[in-house]
Amino acid sequence: MEYIKPFKRILLVGCNECVTVCAAGGRKEVGLLASGLHMAVLKSGATIEIREHTLERQCDPEYVEELVPMIDGVEAVMSMACGCGVQEIARRFKNKPVFPALNTKFMGASERQGVWSERCQGCGDCLLGMTGGICPIARCAKQLMNGPCGGSTGGHCEIGEDTDCAWALIWERLKALGQIERYVEITPAKDWRPGGGSGPRKIIREDLAE
Amino acid sequence: MENFEPVIVAFCCHYCAYTAADMAGSQRLTYPANVKIIRVPCSGKVDALHIVKAFEKGADGVYVAGCLEGDCHFKNGNVRAARRVESVRKYLEEIGLEGERLEMVTMSAGMGYRFAQVATEMTEKIRKMGPSPIHLALAGGASEARKAANI
Amino acid sequence: MRTESKLEKVLAAGHLAVTSECGPPRGSMADKVIEKGKYLHGVVDAVNVTDNQTAMVRMSSFAASVLLKQQGHNPLLQMVTRDRNRLAMQADILGAYALGIDTMLCLSGDHTRFGDHPMAMNVHDIDSVQLIQMVKNMRDEGKFQGGAEIKNPPKMFIGAAANPFADPFELRVLRLAKKIAAGADFIQTQCIFNVDKFEQWMEGVRARGLHKQTYILAGVTPIKSVGAARYMKNKVPGMDVPQEIVDRMAAVPKEKQPEEGIAICIETIERLKKVEGVAGFHIMAIDWEEKVKEIVERAGLLPRPQV
Amino acid sequence: MQKQQQVSDKVLVIGGGMGGIRAALDLAEAEKKVILVDRDYTIGGLMTQLDRTFPTNNCDLCTLSPNLSEGSRQEYIELLTMTTVKGVKGGKGNFTVSMETAPRYINLDKCTACGECHKKFPQCVRFTPGLDHRAPTCMRYPQATPQAFSIDLAKCDDVEGLMKSCPAGAINPDDMGRKFEVTCGSIVLSPGGSLFDPSHLDYLGYGQQPDVVTSLQYERILSASGPTMGQLVRPSNGQQPKKVAWIQCIGSRGLQKGAGAYCSSACCMFALKEAIVTKERFHDDIETTIFYMDMRTMGKDYERYFLRAKNEFGVRFVRSRPHSIVREGGAENLSITYSCDDKSANITEEFDMVVLSTGFRISDEVRVLAGKLGIDLNSSSFPVTDPFNPVATSVPGIYVAGVAQAPKDIPETMVQASAAACMAAGDVAVPVKAEEDREPPPPEFATVGEEARVGVFICDCGENIGGVVDAGALAEFASQLPQVVVSELKGHGCSRQSMREIQESIRDNKLNRVVIGGCSPRTHETKFQETVRAAGLNKYLVEIANIRDQATWVHSNSPQDATAKAKDLIRMAVGSVIRSQPLVDQSLPINKDILVVGGGVAGMNAALQLADQGHKVYLAEKTDKLGGLAARIHSTIEKGDVQTYVKDLIARTEAHENIQIITRALIVDHSGMPGLFKTGMQTGKQMFYRQIEHGVTVIATGAKPNRPPQYLLGENAAVSTQLDLQALLAEKPETAKAWDNVVMIQCVGSRDDENPNCSRICCQSAIKNALRILALNPEARIFVLYRDMRTFGFHEEYYQKARELGVIFVRYSREQPPRVQAGDGGIEVSFTDPVLGRELTVAADHLCLSTGMVADEDGNSELAMLFKLPRTADGYFLEDHVKLRPIDLPVPGFFVAGTAHSPKLINESVAQALAVAARARTMLARDTINLGARSAKVDKNICAACLICVRSCPFSIPFINAEGYSEIDPAKCHGCGVCVSACPAKAIQLMQFEDDRILAKLEELFERTNA
């Protein structure tokens, strides 16, 4: 709200990829937010015009080009994509303020309808091969790499009953896989460089990059 | 906003609530004309967006009326609707609208009296609450526009 | 002898060791630390100094340890991986050792969610096993974790924690084995109320001969009241308080409950003494340091051996 | 072979009233050929003359007309009006019936019912309904079938002028009528009853005092299509009456000269309805008083209606039979003289109008017809019927339904009509299907991409809409709306005339969207869809604004509000219809198996009928044996042997090769749609789970005998229920010989706060058992303590007989119930005798309580939940329409029979079971079921394949296809729209309820508010 206060015409941009799938920034949520913002502004005694548009993918510049005909009519853009989309729009339209409408939190999977849980932190040095396909970095509250802490109770984490103990899961899985020896090996201290420890990351696929 | 007459949108499921509304008609039960019914096949069809849009257009109250719990003709559309109404209520609160302007009610097809009763109660409640701030803002804007036109 | 640690000496001599703990204050009051320490003079072989215990900010374990050292105690520096990355931790180890601290306990630490800074970042650059490994490498290889050489490497007697009661139970012995393999010289366990389950765990430990590779100090806690018993039973993750204990506490009038708690604690020690592989006791009398002496005395563990 | 060919494939239905129409439609929908004859010039019978019907107070025209103009059935129905049966030969399977059609002098094919002849020569046009023969139009009612006039040539002195008046050239003065013969395999007799004519009873003043009218005449005065255009006025002076009295039992219960000995069964409700409608119109400006002997409101929920009349509307009830109605010389008002129980003196009271509630009787004409058919009649000239099959007459192949069988009201007539159709259908051969079906509708014209051209048609629906709002102004308002090309006022949009006009308008104005401002889409959407389709428009391009049920009916207290709301609704409908799109229906093959739930008399009869027709029937019974409650009953009041009947029924059911009996069946789940149901049940002792696939479900779960813990029931061995007593009398008759005093208390556990309705069966049970006791022990003194004796129909005669034999009937009031205590010599029963005005105590050897029945709350609530069926407040299953569709449940594919519907006698249960079979067959005659077009559709270009629809669908229909987007099979989609509202990409739309249509409604609604 604070972001858009000074503006009379804004463009609310959704993204039809990940944020649609997780019901955070697709066409529907764009509609809901547009209505909500409109009402909030009306209520504060001001007026605002909110245009809605949903791109196929906000993190690809070609799709972002779709906004060109619309961009001049608005004073600011609000993006309902993940942080990537927000930044892509900012990159493309240098003189328009762009605001994030979402707080991008994590990479996750659907546990069931409407429930998403974190699965990966993009650490860049995948342990999954050692841990039965369950990531202790993303899913253990303490990122323990060598087994559960003393707070593991009945399969859940000490931080709360609705969080599974990653290590309890790993252990079950290793047992089922007959890979108990994987547990006994000590996982050495992790090299965090691929995980963002050495600043913003970049991946270049030589075969695809031009 | 003197003599405030609220406008209330009732999204009614075809099988129960809409039928109950017809039943109220055939029993000649009167209720306030403020309630306008939009028919949907199931209360589970009522989109959060449609509820929010109704408020954005100036509705003073909205309710979603479905079948009694366990009676949904599509298994559990009414339960979904109830959850959705709950979440839209929170959203409305965030925006600064009273969540009580939105309700979920259930009734069976035979409950004409209940339909009339709900319509009456809802109208009374909203009347007491006064116009929705959006309704006021829109009306204010419109009156300004009218003034401008006169000049 | 790997180190100069008093604790190592007591244990190596075959005595039942006794440790207790001292929680640093939530403020910069040196006198508080000294005051708490007084109760433990001549009563224990080493004093654990906790590191932002329960994720609440307190005077640093390092500083409090130094204060206690100055009073003639043998501080046991606790270090959690939650709050600092490997650089900070290694720096502290060097400093601590330079100031005469030769015993430490490597932990991961309670999650910040339980403390007074739930918004804080959980660092966990390395975990507790990796911390043990790091300290051991500093001592035995004379190398920093990054591989560089250390001049005058710190000779730390390395401790680790073990919780015989957390889940999955079958992993608990393996986890201990891992810590030992990583370099844990001694172990302090979670408070033991369920002696049967502890014995079961120890059976597993002995089966692998782990009790011969490390010293296991059994953790005990005197319970102040039935309320505290219930709280530990229901609210503290990884704590196993059998219903009999709660009932026993509940059966006595409120004013008699502290006494009953101490009696239970002493009985527990007596039972644990008989368990093969128990090398000593770690008495966690949280904010009740004044009673440690009574417990140690009544458990027949006084006077402490001079080594 | 030879013989089989001789079986006719036609059913003759005599009488085109509601019963005859229902029977004909059921037969036609089950693809049986029907000849429907009526002596009148238009069908519809008595009901077309009614203003409204109880208990919903709907107007009849609206409920009746959809039945009459179901045009698609016509290929199977040959309608012969002004035709009478002259003679019958042959027997079941092959009757030859000679008939005669009177001249109508109008060519039915040419007449357009334009009304020119009537305008110019009103006296020549036939019109019969009461009071004023000329008003308001000589069409009996606006939806008349056939839609044509009839000329009475005898009254015409300018035949040529009359002929010239007809623009269609339809008048044919040379019409000679015709005589002819038809063959048929079976006959349904439903000529209806006629009404008692009280003209010969001077003391009632009828025929002398214009303000004394019969109840039917009063109905005509109230009717919008009646002589006064619905204005309630006194015939004598045209003023609004202030005080109206009804006098019950005129021509019934053997009370007057020429009256039938029976009770006419319907008049009490009829009078209640008239009084309520009167009160509704004038509120406190009118007084209504009903003089009655016993209020007989024993139908389903009728007691509640009675209570409403008394408590909500303030109708006054006086239990008395007035002596006389006179008008003193010079006086304007009528004086009624009557006496009451509690006052010895006569009272004289003045009234403006007096309505005589005249009962039913069999007309001479029908008596003659019965003679020609050779059927036996009882002493009241009603046909004698099988004690366990009320529609079977003494002649095989001839069935009777409706008032001609016994006095009754509309729902029971509808049940019997369907039952008779069921029986009659079993006697005829299957007609050879015509190769070429009826003319296909014209091809749909393309509408996609065209600018919307909307036609709005506003119904005034008689008084229903026009009486509250200015319907013409609404039409005018609609014409101003964007994209509306035509906006017109229609009287009854659902009348055939209006439908034709709408179709013409579609063609003439090139309309591609239609809005009807009228009643509920629930009842009339299909009808209007067919109408626009016949004009070449896709049927999904019409929308109904429900300005009646949801505006004028509910806001009649504020015409201003009703008008504003109606305008909103119309504008919303226009906004929505503009965005509608042409759609195609989906269909699937139907499963012709049937699940009958409940193995009592009703369940078994329905199962047997359907199994006989070749359907596979699963009969699920929750106990371990068949028979239900009837297995505990020994005899009917008519002395029918119930035990033998039930045993035989069970034997036939068990032996039938098409019936599979599942005992100890507990229904646990249910899914699917009409024609394709799946029901899961746990069966047998082991509770094994099995699932049954079926197309139709019959609910025949029965009711429970009531045993309220009152009057020492269950505490004292000398206290029993009527059910216990009849068993005792049959099994240990000697017990009764020792009884000196027997007391029966009626309405125990019925008509009270907990169970406000009447249990219907108990009065006759009491009489039955009282007569039985007297037969065993003529010396016994029997007291029947009652509130109203409800011995309806022919039961009245048994009531009279019991009184003659000395049974003592003592009335008690709800406020002063009898008191009972156990004494030394038996049960001491104390009560106040209203005639003596004294408290009496009887020491009874036996106290029998008439406890009636109650719905099986536990069982029914389970089933209602599983099957999604609504129930009444007292727990019985609620039918789709309490008047016209008493057998169909509101969920298509479900039917109800027996006491699961409401308390009933055995023969009534049987009739309903047969009726269920007929109704089920109308559905099973088809090979496919139409699933409609309401299904969810995914836009693959938008779909993000997020799986939300896959996970949210209650029926697991959507899936992600090989191309990577969600796909929904329209044939499987149930059309609930849950996925639509869940889709985060807004990639799914529900056809008919597309988002833009809903948003358009919101847009239009708030257009006004914010303007």
User: Per mean pLDDT, which range of B135-144, C218-227, D279-288, D622-631 is the poorest?
Assistant: B135-144
Residue D56 in this model has a pLDDT that exceeds 60: no
Q: Would C247 be classed as within a structural domain? A: yes
Q: What angle do CA D63, D65, D69 make, to 5 degrees?
A: 140
- The amino acid at D145: T
Confidence of residue C269 (pLDDT cuts 50, 70, 90): very high
Provide the domain limits for residue C255: 6-298
Provide the 8-state DSSP code for C112.
G
Q: d(Cα D374, Cα D528) in Å, to the nearest integer? A: 45
User: Per mean pLDDT, which range of B142-151, C183-192, C204-213, D567-576 is the poorest?
Assistant: B142-151
B52: Cα within 13 Å, side-chain hemisphere? 29
Residue D229 in this model has a pLDDT that exceeds 70: no
Q: What is the pLDDT of residues D456-477, one digit of tens each?
A: 999 987 677 888 899 999 999 9
Residue pair D306/D275 in contact by the 8 Å Cβ criterion: no
CA separation (Å) from A155 to A144, A148, A159, D567?
15, 10, 12, 62
Number of neighbours of residue C121 by Cβ within 10 angstroms: 9
Q: Which residues of A touch C161 (CB under 8 A)?
A: 150
Total domains in chain C come to 1
Q: Which residues of A touch B48 (CB under 8 A)?
A: 28, 32
Structure tokens at D1001: 């409604």
Among C157, C111, C102, which residue's Cα sits nearest to residue C132? C157
Mean pLDDT of C270-296: 93
Instruction: Please give the interface size between A and C, counted as residue pairs whose CB atoms are below 8 Å apart.
Output: 112
The better pLDDT of the pair D440, D949 is held by D949
Q: d(Cα C301, Cα C20) in Å, to the nearest integer? A: 13
Q: What angle do CA D548, D553, D556 make, to 5 degrees?
A: 125
Q: d(Cα D405, Cα D393) in Å, to the nearest integer? A: 9
Mean pLDDT of D668-688: 89
- The amino acid at A106: F
Confidence of residue D127 (pLDDT cuts 50, 70, 90): low
Mean pLDDT of A79-87: 83
Confidence of residue D42 (pLDDT cuts 50, 70, 90): confident
Q: Which long-range contacts (CB under 8 A, 24 or more apart) does D907-910 make?
A: D907/D387, D907/D388, D907/D389, D907/D390, D907/D636, D908/D390, D908/D412, D908/D415, D909/D600, D909/D601, D909/D602, D909/D605, D909/D630, D910/D388, D910/D389, D910/D390, D910/D419, D910/D601, D910/D602, D910/D605
DSSP string covering D426-489, please?
Answer: TTSPPPPPPSS-SPPPPPPPP-TTSPP-EEEEEE-TTHHHHTTS-HHHHHHHHHTSTTEEEEEE
Q: What is the pLDDT of residue B145?
A: 41
Could you give all domains of chain D from N- to C-terminal order, each with its CATH number?
Answer: 1-102+178-193+363-435 (3.50.50.60), 103-176 (3.30.70.20), 194-360 (3.50.50.60), 454-581 (3.40.50), 594-703+855-924 (3.50.50.60), 707-852 (3.50.50.60), 935-990 (3.30.70.20)
Mean pLDDT of D424-444: 73
D1002 touches chain A (CB under 8 A): no
Which of A1, A28, A43 best probes binding to B when mutated, by most B CB atoms within 10 angstroms?
Answer: A43
CB contact under 8 Å between B55 and A38, yes or no, is no
Structure tokens at A40: 């909030």
Q: Which residues of D touch B139 (CB under 8 A)?
A: 1010
Confidence of residue B104 (pLDDT cuts 50, 70, 90): very high
B145: left (phi over 0), alpha (psi -120 to 50) or beta: alpha
In A, minimum Cα distance to B88 occurs at A32
Q: What is the pLDDT of residues D78-106, one digit of tens each?
A: 889 899 999 999 999 999 999 999 998 88
Bond from prior residue into C168 cis (ω within 30 degrees of 0): yes
A142 touches chain C (CB under 8 A): yes
Q: What integer best gives the mean pLDDT of chain A?
A: 83
Q: What is the pLDDT of residue A125?
A: 81
Q: What is the pLDDT of residues D184-214, one digit of tens each?
A: 999 999 999 999 999 999 899 998 999 999 9
> Which chains reach chain A with 3 or more Cβ–Cβ distances below 8 angstroms?
B, C, D
The answer for residues whose C-beta is within 8 angstroms of residue B38's C-beta and 6 or more apart is B9, B10, B11, B12, D572, D998, D1001, D1002
Alpha carbon D192 to chain centroid distance?
15
Residue pair B8/B59 in contact by the 8 Å Cβ criterion: yes
Among B120, B136, B134, B107, which residue's Cα sits nearest to residue B34? B120
Residue A208 in this model has a pLDDT that exceeds 70: no
Q: Which residues of D touch A81 (CB under 8 A)?
A: none
Buried b vs exposed e over D818-845: b needs ≥16 C-beta within 10 Å? Answer: bebeeeeebbbbebbbbeeeeeeebebb
- Which among A109-113, C234-238, D811-815 has the top mean pLDDT? D811-815
Q: Which residue from B28, B50, B77 is facing D553, i.e. has the nearest CB?
A: B28
Q: What integer best gives the mean pLDDT of chain C?
A: 94
In B, minimum Cα distance to A38 occurs at B56
Q: d(Cα C259, Cα D260) in Å, to the nearest integer? A: 99
Q: Which residue from D58, D562, D999 is facing B26, i.e. has the nearest CB?
A: D58
Q: What is the phi/psi pair of residue D758, to 5°?
A: -85, 145
Q: d(Cα D265, Cα C68) in Å, to the nearest integer? A: 104
Q: What is the pLDDT of residue D1011?
A: 46
Q: Which residue from A27, A112, A113 is facing D985, i.e. has the nearest CB?
A: A27
Q: Which residue from A20, A110, A113 is facing D985, i.e. has the nearest CB?
A: A20
Which of C83, C87, C129 best probes binding to A when mutated, by most A CB atoms within 10 angstroms?
Answer: C129
Residue D436 in this model has a pLDDT that exceeds 60: no
| CATH code where residue C291 lies | 3.20.20.220
Number of neighbours of residue D119 by Cβ within 10 angstroms: 12
pTM for this predicted structure? 0.65
Number of neighbours of residue B143 by Cβ within 10 angstroms: 10
Bond from prior residue into C303 cis (ω within 30 degrees of 0): yes
Q: What is the pLDDT of residues B30-80, one digit of tens each?
A: 899 999 999 999 999 999 999 999 999 999 999 999 988 777 888 889 999
Q: Would C156 be classed as within a structural domain? A: yes
Mean pLDDT of D688-706: 95
D330: left (phi over 0), alpha (psi -120 to 50) or beta: left
* Helix, strand, coil distribution of chain B in percent, nearest 5: 55, 15, 30
Tell which D residues from 951 to 980 touch A, by Cβ distance under 8 Å.
951-952
Among B35, B7, B4, which residue's Cα sits nearest to residue B21? B35
Helix, strand or coil for residue D411? Answer: helix
In the beta sheet, which residues pair with residue D243? D287
Q: d(Cα C231, Cα C235) in Å, to the nearest integer? A: 5
Among A155, A178, A159, A134, which residue's Cα sits nearest to residue C168? A155
Q: d(Cα D170, Cα C93) in Å, to the nearest integer? A: 117
Number of neighbours of residue D449 by Cβ within 10 angstroms: 5
Q: What is the pLDDT of residue D57?
A: 52
Class assignment of domain B8-150? Answer: alpha beta
Q: Would C220 be classed as within a structural domain? A: yes
Q: In this complex, does chain B touch chain D, defined as having at least 3 beta-carbon pairs under 8 Å apart?
A: yes
Q: Which residue from A31, A32, A42 is facing B137, i.e. has the nearest CB?
A: A42
User: Per mean pLDDT, which range of A199-203, D72-76, D751-755 is the poorest?
Assistant: D72-76
Query: Can you tell me the ipTM of this complex?
Result: 0.70
Tell which B residues from 42 to 71 touch D, by Cβ distance under 8 Å.
42, 44-50, 53-54, 57-59, 67, 70-71
CB contact under 8 Å between B84 and D572, yes or no, is no
Mean pLDDT of D819-843: 89
> Which chains reach chain B with 3 or more Cβ–Cβ distances below 8 angstroms?
A, D
In B, minimum Cα distance to D989 occurs at B45
Alpha carbon B47 to chain centroid distance?
13
Nearest CA distance, D276 vs chain B (angstrom): 12
Q: Which residues of D touch A31 (CB under 8 A)?
A: 986
Residue C295 in this model has a pLDDT that exceeds 80: yes
Q: What is the pLDDT of residue D112?
A: 67
Provide the 8-state DSSP code for D635.
B
B15 touches chain D (CB under 8 A): yes
Q: d(Cα D305, Cα D757) in Å, to the nearest integer? A: 10
Q: What is the pLDDT of residue C277?
A: 94
Residue D492 in this model has a pLDDT that exceeds 60: yes
Q: d(Cα B127, Cα C15) in Å, to the nearest integer? A: 83
Q: What is the pLDDT of residues A86-129, one digit of tens each?
A: 888 888 888 888 888 877 666 667 767 777 777 788 887 888 87
Residue pair D126/D164 in contact by the 8 Å Cβ criterion: no
* Dihedral sign computed on CA atoms, order A28, A31, A33, A39: negative
- The amino acid at A125: D
Residue B148 in this model has a pLDDT that exceeds 50: no
Structure tokens at D602: 């009703």
CB contact under 8 Å between A43 and B49, yes or no, is no
Could you give all domains of chain A from N- to C-terminal order, each with its CATH number?
Answer: 9-100 (3.40.50.2300), 112-195 (no CATH)
- Radius of gyration, CA atoms only, chain B: 16
User: Per mean pLDDT, which range of C31-45, C229-243, D291-305 is the poorest?
Assistant: C229-243
The better pLDDT of the pair A120, D388 is held by D388
Q: Would C306 be classed as within a structural domain? A: no
Structure tokens at A142: 């303490």
